[in-house]
Chain A
């Protein structure tokens, strides 16, 4: 018997990134190609476990022959592409995007972003005039239950929570973008409270939020009390005890108390997503404070 082999289709592409030849499997994003070439690219709205929405524009790169810069997270690498990740235009755009975000949003719980702000020399304060302060989000945190809080002063509108709540993971569609332009916000219908919405408290929005705009109430309370100490925390990996699916949990503990539960984004079962039981169902170990509904 003679084995027949089909001619292999093109499975890899060669491109040039910052002058270096790089070969990656066909379909790889420019962002991943940069990573394989050892180039670190800032991202905000991109995540391993979500569909790219390419809205934050912080990962833009210059591609020869393209008039505008292109989002590296969403654009596949193509044969013969010539990519610049550190040109003046790229540096300017990244600096300005970070500056814009920093000028309107509180980023002090997003250390990764703060690192990039320093790297690109963003001057987030230069929009404020002494008598005409730059417009900011300016909203009080929404605390509507004792599981998690939403602080839209920290929201960069990266769409991650909407995606996790919707098509990319949970298919609950409790939140969406509402409004337009600078007034756009993540919102339930008519801004009803989460307990009154379709929310099922899976907490996957917390899992993907890059800035702490949605966070565990336990974490929020500790931060408010100035007692949030990540360096003193242990992370224990375990398997959720509720059903047979086998979701892995990471229990974050501080002073032997569970303060947060996450799941690894690269875990084969969860892709970082959990349900309410895995995320919040640890009260048999440690009861929560009484509910603080509708403040």
Chain B
């Protein structure tokens, strides 16, 4: 590449120091007094993944990314400024114009659970107090939304100080299954000290890794395959097939990635796990690395999860110190290290290929599949990517064996599932239930329906999922039953609505969510999401849809499902279409 053209604006000392600290000495350009030493192309490519941390550092230092600050990053990492600007403007948590009000920004969630708990009132209230407010998509704290107290999910983006969630200052009290002996994945929540490796070990921690090492990598992959474990992020791809495919790759660096970019509206299960049992995430990722033969572990966590990030980093540090990570991880003879990367506010980065692009320092735009991540994943190298819930299942499998694992759940959906109960239920929170438990039983587990109205509908699987009505309460929670009855478990969202809630408001917001979050790469999704949202706004204003507008809803859905690049476009019309089919929307013939 030719030398970069960089404009005259320069970074000030604060920006320079923040960026340099974030890069930890990994510079592509080094200043030796008057001499500039530039590394070659491979080092430039090899360091591009530091772009996102560097942009975070700038944003945190000044509350925005200034031209001078960006220039410093571009010069240091040898990234063309136009590309770096393209990356910076992709993310919600970064701004590239100077804020009129300098200081912390309070992000307030406006998605379903918080919407019906009163986020509009909370936002008005904060604004009246002169607080710098940003309306945010789902912040993954839906269990905190409470229509009685008016509490909604909030996240404070710091300037010059750390990001924080104020509710995190109190001990976590929204886990309602504590002491339940049947728990597999959540058994340590509330029991273990999440900041202590010693405490984790007292609660059986790292027994699974020892068992995995004793079994050998191939046997771990076999056990995971035989267990019937499938991905818990929504696509339900068999984990064993994924791991075996990566294990079979030879001769190139390999990666395992924990997809902690939990952003599906209504989902917070991985957050609860990461915050309250972070060592389990580290251990299970180590097991995945051992089983697949990958030396590089990555955690890509959403930027709005400061406590989970801190706890995971602490867990990594303690594990490294104890020799459970590093050149000979836990005496396995296998080198394994983990690096954390923070996302910066982009739902699409939960899509696996978008996550890779984001981590590599590019815009979080999904790639066409094939080729698949098992051969062309992170840095175009073989990669196994799983979310924390899926990974935690592997800990169980290596300890109790595939048969032991299959002793619960159904033939086609073995094991247990984490569900995120929120909305109008008495005790919102994350619940671990055996596959086969009915939807009605799950809602009872969460204390039943609350509020003045009757149960009207349940959003299953999040904004990318679908609405069901009370006739589904007898549906067993399994992959096969959900599929057969035309709905989805998705990421485990069970969000209850009662009949005093205006569903059109909910649909307008869901369509707005997709409009805001589409990456914009492919035409069906970029324009389709906008046109879908416009149709919902028309519905809200007029109270009904004309027949040709109604036709439009179907036409948009069809092209997005058929022709979009990734799962985002394929699912962005599900919720709205299911609501119409169920007859939840007055004025729209189903």
Chain A residues close to B by CB (< 8 Å): 54-58, 60, 68-69, 71, 74-75, 89, 92-93, 96-97, 100-101, 103-104, 126-127, 129, 132, 134-135, 156-157, 166, 171-184, 187-190, 192, 196-198
| Inter-chain contact B519/A69, CB cutoff 8 Å | no
Interface residues of B in 416-441 (CB under 8 A from A): none
Let me know if A93 and B89 touch, CB within 8 A.
no
Contact of B81 with A135 in the complex, beta carbons under 8 Å = no
Find residues 552-573 in chain B having any chain A CB closer than 8 Å to their own CB.
552, 555-556, 558-559, 561-565, 570
- Whether B85 contacts A180 by the Cβ 8 Å rule is no
A103-B527, A181-B517 in contact; A54/B565 too (CB < 8 A)?
A: yes
* Cβ contact within 8 Å between B552 and A58: no
Asked whether B90 lies within 8 Å of A171 as measured between CB atoms, the reply is no
B534 touches A134 (CB 8 A): yes
| Pairwise interchain contact B564-A132, C-beta atoms closer than 8 A | no
Q: Are A182 and B530 in contact (CB under 8 A)?
A: yes
- Which of B1-9, B205-213, B458-466 lies at the interface with chain A? B1-9
Report whether A187 and B85 are in contact in the complex, using a CB–CB cutoff of 8 Å. Answer: yes
- Given A180-B346, A198-B80, A198-B81, the answer on whether A92 and B518 have CB atoms closer than 8 Å is no
Contacts A129-B538, A189-B7, A190-B67 given; does A56 touch B523 at CB 8 Å: yes
Q: Which 5 A-B pairs have the closest CB atoms?
A: A173-B80, A198-B5, A100-B527, A184-B520, A96-B559
Given contacts A96-B558, A175-B82, A198-B80, contact A68 B520 (CB under 8 A): no
Contact between chains at B82 and A176 (CB < 8 Å) = yes
On whether the beta carbons of B80 and A100 are closer than 8 Å, the reply is: no
Cβ-defined contact, A96 with B80, below 8 A: no
Chain B contacts for A184, CB-based, 8 A: 519-521, 526
Supposing A96-B556, A184-B520 touch, asked if A101 and B527 sit within 8 A by C-beta, the answer is yes
A-B contact pairs, 29 of them (CB 8 A): A54-B368, A56-B523, A57-B523, A89-B562, A92-B555, A96-B558, A96-B563, A97-B523, A97-B524, A100-B524, A104-B527, A132-B534, A156-B523, A166-B83, A171-B2, A173-B1, A174-B80, A177-B363, A178-B82, A180-B517, A181-B520, A181-B526, A182-B515, A182-B520, A187-B82, A189-B7, A189-B85, A197-B5, A197-B82
User: Whole-angstrom distance between the alpha carbons of A89 and B561 in the complex?
Assistant: 10
A residues near B534, Cβ cutoff 8 Å: 127, 129, 132, 134-135
Contact status A74-B368, CB under 8 Å: yes
CA distance A138 to B508 in the complex (A): 24
B93 at the interface (CB under 8 A from A): no
Q: Are B90 and A69 in contact (CB under 8 A)?
A: no
A89 nearest in chain B by CB position: B562
Task: Please tell me if the beta carbons of A101 and B523 are within 8 angstroms of each other in the complex.
Answer: yes
List the B side residues contacting A176 at CB < 8 Å.
80, 82-83, 85-86
Q: Which residues of A contact B51 (CB under 8 A)?
A: none
CA–CA, A200 and B557, complex, Å: 43
B122 interface hit (Cβ, 8 Å): no
* Interface hub of A171, A183, A196 (most chain B Cβ within 10 A): A183
Contact: A178 with B89, CB < 8 Å?
yes
- Residues on B with C-beta less than 8 A from A75 are 368
Contacts of A74 in B (CB 8 A): 368
**Total cross-chain contacts (CB, 8 A):** 168
- Contact partners of B183 in chain A: CB under 8 A: none
Pair A187/B86 contact, Cβ less than 8 Å: yes
| Docked-complex contact B5 and A103, CB < 8 angstroms | no
| Distance between Cα atoms of A96 and B548 in the complex (Å) | 15
Q: What residues of B have a CB within 8 angstroms of the CB of A134 in the complex?
A: 530-531, 534
A27 to B485 CA separation, bound complex (whole angstroms): 41
CA distance A177 to B80 in the complex (A): 12
Q: Tell me whether A55 and B516 are in contact (CB under 8 A).
A: no
B321 at the interface (CB under 8 A from A): no
Measured between alpha carbons, how far is A104 from B517 in the docked complex, in Å? 19
Q: Give the residue name and chain of the A residue nearest to B5 (CB).
A: A198
The number of residues on chain B lying at the interface, defined by a beta carbon within 8 Å of a beta carbon of chain A, is: 52
Which residues on the A side are within 8 Å of B165 (C-beta)? Answer: none
Q: A68-B562, A181-B520, A187-B85 are in contact. Are A126 and B80 (CB under 8 A)?
A: no
Shortest Cβ distance from A156 into B: residue: B523
B84 at the interface (CB under 8 A from A): yes
List B contacts of A126 (CB < 8 A). Answer: 548, 552
A190 pairs with B85, CB closer than 8 A: yes
Please give me the residue from chain B that is nearest to A132 by CB atom: B538
- Tell me, in angstroms, the Cα distance from A248 to B584 when the chains sit together: 64
Which residues of A are found within 8 Å of B96, using beta-carbon distances?
A: 190
A172→B522 contact, CB < 8 A: no
Does any Cβ of A come within 8 Å of B528's Cβ?
A: yes
Q: Is B30 an interface residue (CB 8 A)?
A: no
A156: chain B residues within 8 A (beta carbon): 523
When the two chains form their complex, are residues A182 and B526 in contact, meaning their CB atoms are under 8 A apart? yes
Q: Complex formed: what's the CA distance from A97 to B558 in Å? A: 11
Q: Which residues of B sit under 8 angstroms from A127, Cβ to Cβ?
A: 531, 534, 552
The answer for the CA separation of A184 and B364 in the assembled complex, in Å, is 13
CA distance A96 to B554 in the complex (A): 11
A187 CB, nearest partner CB in chain B, Å: 7
B70 beta carbon closer than 8 Å to chain A: yes
In the complex, A68→B7 CA distance in Å? 44
B471 to chain A, nearest CB (A): 28
Q: Which of B1-48 contact A (CB under 8 A)?
A: 1-2, 4-5, 7
Identify which of B86, B368, B522 contacts A177 (C-beta below 8 A): B86
Verify A181–B85 contact, CB threshold 8 A: no
| Chain B hits for A55, CB < 8 A | 521-523, 565
Among A93, A157, A177, the one with the most B-chain Cβ atoms within 10 Å of its Cβ is A177
A6 to B89 Cα, complex, angstroms: 54
Query: B85 — which chain A residues lie within 8 A by C-beta?
Result: 176, 178, 187-190
Could you tell me the distance between the alpha carbons of A71 and B562 in the complex, rounded to whole angstroms?
11
Is B529 in the interface zone, CB < 8 Å from A?
A: yes
CA distance A69 to B368 in the complex (A): 12
**B537 interfacial by beta-carbon distance below 8 Å:** yes
Tell me which residues across on chain A come within 8 A of B181, comparing CB atoms.
none
Cβ contact of B84, chosen from A60, A171, A177, A189, cutoff 8 A:
A189
Could you tell me which residues of chain B, from 163 to 179, have a CB within 8 Å of some CB in chain A? none
Across-interface contacts of B529 in A (CB, < 8 A) = 181-182
B202 interfacial contact with A, CB 8 Å: no
Contacts of A179 in B (CB 8 A): 89-90, 520
B180 at the interface (CB under 8 A from A): no
Please name all residues of chain A whose beta carbon is closer than 8 Å to the beta carbon of B4 when the two chains form the complex: 173, 198
Residues of A contacting B90 in the complex (Cβ-Cβ under 8 angstroms): 178-180
- Decide if B520 touches A157 in the complex (CB within 8 Å): yes
- Contact between B520 and A92 (Cβ–Cβ < 8 Å)? no
Partner of B559, one of A97, A129, A132, A196: A97
- Is B484 an interface position by the 8 A CB rule? no
B570/A68 in contact, CB under 8 A: yes
Q: A56-B522, A68-B563 are in contact. Are A132 and B527 (CB under 8 A)?
A: no
- Once the chains are docked, how many angstroms separate the CA of A103 from the CA of B552? 13
Say yes or no: B82 contacts A135, CB within 8 Å.
no
**Chain A residues with CB below 8 A from B346, complex form:** 180
Residue of B5, B7, B519, B559 near A181 (CB, 8 A) is: B519
Q: Which of A57, A60, A180, A196 contacts B89 (CB 8 A)?
A: A180
Q: In chain A, what residue has the closest Cβ to B551?
A: A126
Q: Identify A157's interface contact among B70, B515, B526, B528, CB under 8 A.
A: B526
Distance (whole angstroms) from the CB of B238 to the closest CB of chain A? 17
Query: Complex Cα distance A180/B530, Å?
Result: 12
Q: How far is the CA of A180 from the CA of B84 in the complex (A)?
A: 14
Give min CB distance, B82 to chain A, whole Å: 4
Given contacts A134-B534, A135-B530, A189-B82, whether A57 and B563 have CB atoms under 8 Å apart is yes
How far is it, in angstroms, between the C-alpha of A190 and the C-alpha of B368 when the chains are bound?
29
**B559 close to A173 (CB less than 8 A):** no
Complex: how many Å from CA A188 to CA B6?
Answer: 12
* B2, B81, B519: most-surrounded residue (chain A CB, <10 A): B81
